Amino acid sequence: MAKTDKRVPMNHVIGFVLSLVMTLVAAWAVIGSNLSTTWVIIFIMILALLQAGVQLFMFMHITEAESKNGHVPWNMMFHGFALAAILVAGSLFTMSFGFDHGEHGNHGGEGEQHEQMDSEEHSSH
Amino acid sequence: MHITDILVTGEPIIYGAMVSIALVTIAILFLLTYFKKWGWLWREWLTTVDHKKIGIMYILSALVMLFRGGMDALMMRVNLAFPELGFLSSQHYNEIFTTHGTIMIIFMAMPFLIGLMNIIVPLQIGARDFAFPYLNAMSFWSFFIGAMLFNISFVIGGSPDAGWTSYTPLSGAAMSPGPGQNFYLMGLQLSGIGTLATGINLMVTILKMRAPGMKLFHMPIFTWSTLVTCFIIVFAFPILTVALALLTIDRVFGSQFFTLTGEGLPMMWANLFWMWGHPEVYIVILPAFGIFSEVIATFAKKRLFGYSAMVWSMIIIALLSFIVWVHHFFTMGAGAFVNSVFSISTMLIAVPTGVKIFNWLATLYKSKIEFTVPMLWSLAFIPSFILGGVTGVMLGMAAADYQFHNSYFLVAHFHYVLIAGTVFACFAGLVFWYPKMFGHKMNERIGKWAFWLFFAGFHICFFPQYFLGLDGMPRRLFITNIAEWLPLNVISTGGAFLMGVGFVVFVYNVYYSFRYSERETTGDSWNGNGRTLEWATTTPVPYYNFATVPYVDEIDPYVRMKEEGKTTFDESQLKPIHMPSYTGAPIIMMSFLGLASFALVFEWIPVAIFGLVGGLVMMILRSFDYDDGYYVKVDEIKRIERKARGL
């Protein structure tokens, strides 16, 4: 703290402007553009990856190799990825049942039949 | 707009509450002015960054919240035991069980434990404060203002009434219009910021600021439990933040994340809520395990049996806590395979928990136990918690859960783990470390009265509820005039009032001890049985904690230091101590964000923007704040230490 560098942190300013611009472009892609849904999704996914890159390189310590304090960003990043995997894969695993929006009727229907059979078994006890 | 538009009207109990709130507020303002204490309050408490003072403020707030949540509980119990009385309306009943649950988990259990961590963890590892003292103050004020925001809901705007789990679609805009649910969302969001920041803060403190020589596996077990808890906080709370934000956007700005009409998925709320919610219950139980371990080792006068096994079992519990969340909604109907997976992962948790139970018993085995008040709480915990744990395994069996789900069996189960685990630990920890905080012990005789009243009341209150559940009484039920449930409900209510009496005796003990208890002369308050570094500090603890930081390379270092006649103080090694300056910025920043949250509750967007801009300005000011703190001079340290140590 004592040796605080009082110069303007250009990295942070550029990163901040870039992330704002990318957010606005993503909003425009959804609200204002004529792209088809598929392309909008692909486009904002790409923007999301770029956004994550900006965060990592401009703000986080990804470019600092092991400094003298032994800072290892990969360690915490691995935990983050593991948690994200549990969240996404876990939600898909538990919540993907009985979906029936008319398009994939077969799969959902089967699920519901199982449900019924289950409940019948319960009631027979 | 007229004032009656936002005040809750028409309920005699709430009018009474309004009057008492007004009277208490006026009394506090009057006393502060009369005794000219405003400056003292601001300089010593509101602007403090000292971890010990922040911890005390956490614990005081938590005790107030325990009173509020306890009153809610008693009102519910009166209604259940005397259904003919018409004590509460059904709407009021819904509001009360919602606020009871939310307050007890978010604003009582967590702040109480975080308060104890605040005070004790730096002392146990030989640190002089948190890694980020400013952030610590900010965390406290975000919790406090979030809690106040949630609490005023019952007189202004109306309380949330969709249960502490706030399941959609019931809690969505269509079925719960009005500000009630918004209070829930904004109150939790605001205090969640503080919890997350505390998690990071304590994690960094423990990882980076331990005394020289102290490896991770030399740390006291309470510090270990805090570290593990911090990891759970840091990974679980972002899930809650996102879920709350999504529901807020649903309610305030009309998006459709959790509504069927807009192709949303109502059960996704339950899914996200419990992805946070299950780790959350370990956030409140692991520190409790840590406290019991410290107390049991101290009064069994032995090193904790199986220290490494204790640590590893906590780490395994933390990992497992992230893969069991579906057991809260087995009845959603995700299918036999999904339920089986989560049923097995749930039952696995009993293994490391069992390891801990046996280690506590082994610590007690053939030891000379001293039955002090903290030890009584800890000994009562073991059998009571096992009752809760075993019924938890029963609930974890998915097939059987279809019977138990949402019944009083479940209510009894989680009160057995949360009260016998967390609340007993809060009392044990507070009594145990009380002399470190206030310089005198709590009276043992009155403390034992409080313990026995609370302990008996607890079992009388909740044990019958298992059988009410098996008799088919559902939770959150308003109408209970069914003859076969009535006797057990009356017994249960009697127990609840006994717990209330126990709490009153406990609070009276605070006053009695303040007046009459002997003042501490040594730092090692419990007959010289202290094992860890916090007992090596003097009482009262100087604001810089350790004049010279000791070298530690073993578990329970203070035992050896006492054998060798050493202290942590070495006058020849004194150097100026770098300390952080007090600052009023955290409370101002959080007040702005509190104003913004309050405005969002009523959806007054311009006021909300004003509050958010205010908060942003305070953050920008913080970015350009180059206050590096100050140095305590060697002469002053010498003066304080000589006085405290009687040299």
3-state secondary structure string, B406-422? CEHHHHHHHHHHHHHHH
Contact B335 A86 (CB under 8 A): no
- What is the domain partition of chain B in residue ranges? 37-583+627-645
Cα–chain center distance at B633: 37
Instruction: Give me the residue from A79, A93, A122 closest to B338, CB to CB.
Output: A93
Tokens for B352? Answer: 């490391």
Contact A1 B322 (CB under 8 A): no
Is B275 near chain A, with CB under 8 Å?
A: yes
**A85 and A51 co-located in one domain:** no
Contact B271 A2 (CB under 8 A): no
Contact B323 A115 (CB under 8 A): no
Contact B265 A95 (CB under 8 A): yes
In the DSSP assignment, the letter for residue B89 is -
Residue window 401-420, chain B: list those with CB within 8 Å of chain A.
402
Residue window 38-97, chain A: list those with CB within 8 Å of chain B.
79, 83, 86-87, 90-91, 93-95, 97
Alpha carbon distances (Å) from B380 to B376, B384, B545: 6, 6, 33
**A56 and A94 co-located in one domain:** no
**A73 and A56 co-located in one domain:** no
**At the top level of CATH, which class does the domain B37-583+627-645 belong to?**
mainly alpha
**A40 and A75 co-located in one domain:** no
**A40 and A85 co-located in one domain:** no
Domain count along chain A: 2
Query: Looking at the DSSP assignment, which residues form a beta bridge with residue B519?
Result: B440
Alpha carbon distances (Å) from B422 to B154, B219, B276: 26, 22, 18
Contact A90 B323 (CB under 8 A): yes
**A51 and A89 co-located in one domain:** no
Instruction: Give me the residue from A4, A83, A94 closest to B334, CB to CB.
Output: A94
User: For chain B, which ranges sit under pLDDT 70?
Assistant: 1-4, 480
Chain A partners within 8 Å of B402 (Cβ): 122
pLDDT tens digits, B398-442: 999 999 999 999 999 999 999 999 999 999 999 999 999 999 999
Give the distance from residue B507's alpha carbon to the nearest chain A alpha carbon, in angstroms.
Answer: 42
Percent pLDDT > 90 in chain A is 27
**A79 and A124 co-located in one domain:** yes
Question: A6, A93, A95: best mutation site toward chain B, by most B Cβ within 10 Å?
Answer: A95
Q: What is the pLDDT of residue B382?
A: 96
ipTM, interface predicted TM-score of the complex:
0.81
CA distance B240 to B352: 26
Angle at alpha carbon of residue B629, lines to B628 and B634, rounded to 5°:
125
Residue with tokens 């401009």: A58
Longest distance between any two alpha carbons in chain A, whole Å: 76
Give the distance from residue A86's alpha carbon to the nearest chain B alpha carbon, in angstroms.
Answer: 8
Whether B316 and B349 have beta carbons less than 8 Å apart is answered as no
Is A122 near chain B, with CB under 8 Å?
A: yes
Q: What is the pLDDT of residue A32?
A: 87
CA distance B116 to B60: 11
pLDDT tens digits, B573-599: 899 999 999 999 999 999 999 999 999
Is B255 near chain A, with CB under 8 Å?
A: no
Q: Of the candidates B563, B363, B576, B381, which has an alpha carbon nearest to the alpha carbon of residue B459? A: B381
Is residue A92 predicted with pLDDT exceeding 70? Answer: yes
Q: Is B627 exposed, middle or buried (0-12, 13-18, 19+ CB in 10 A)?
A: exposed
pLDDT tens digits, B93-128: 999 999 999 999 999 999 999 999 999 999 999 999
Is B170 near chain A, with CB under 8 Å?
A: no
Contact B334 A118 (CB under 8 A): no
Cα–chain center distance at B562: 34
Q: What is the pLDDT of residue A51?
A: 92
B349, amino acid identity? I
Contact A94 B338 (CB under 8 A): yes
Residue window 10-29, chain A: list those with CB within 8 Å of chain B.
none
Least confident span in A8-12, A103-107, B195-199: A103-107
Chain A partners within 8 Å of B235 (Cβ): 79, 83
Whether B200 and B227 have beta carbons less than 8 Å apart is answered as no
Contact B335 A97 (CB under 8 A): yes
Contact B336 A2 (CB under 8 A): no
**A12 and A49 co-located in one domain:** yes
Confidence grade of residue A113 (pLDDT, cut at 50, 70, 90): very low
Chain B partners within 8 Å of A6 (Cβ): 626
Contacts of A7 (CB under 8 A, 6+ apart): none
Contact A95 B335 (CB under 8 A): no
Give the distance from residue A46's alpha carbon to the nearest chain B alpha carbon, in angstroms.
Answer: 22
Give the distance from residue A89's alpha carbon to the nearest chain B alpha carbon, in angstroms.
Answer: 11
Is B84 near chain A, with CB under 8 Å?
A: no
Angle at alpha carbon of residue B262, lines to B261 and B266, rounded to 5°:
75
**A56 and A14 co-located in one domain:** yes
Q: How many residue pairs bridge chain A and chain B with CB atoms within 8 Å of each other?
A: 48
**A23 and A49 co-located in one domain:** yes
Whether B412 and B332 have beta carbons less than 8 Å apart is answered as no
CA distance B647 to B639: 10
**A116 and A77 co-located in one domain:** yes
Query: Looking at the DSSP assignment, which residues form a beta bridge with residue B631?
Result: B578
**A14 and A48 co-located in one domain:** yes
Q: Which domain holds residue A94?
A: 69-125
User: How many Cβ atoms are within 10 Å of A91's Cβ, its own excluded?
Assistant: 16
Is B204 near chain A, with CB under 8 Å?
A: no
Angle at alpha carbon of residue A56, lines to A54 and A61, rounded to 5°:
135
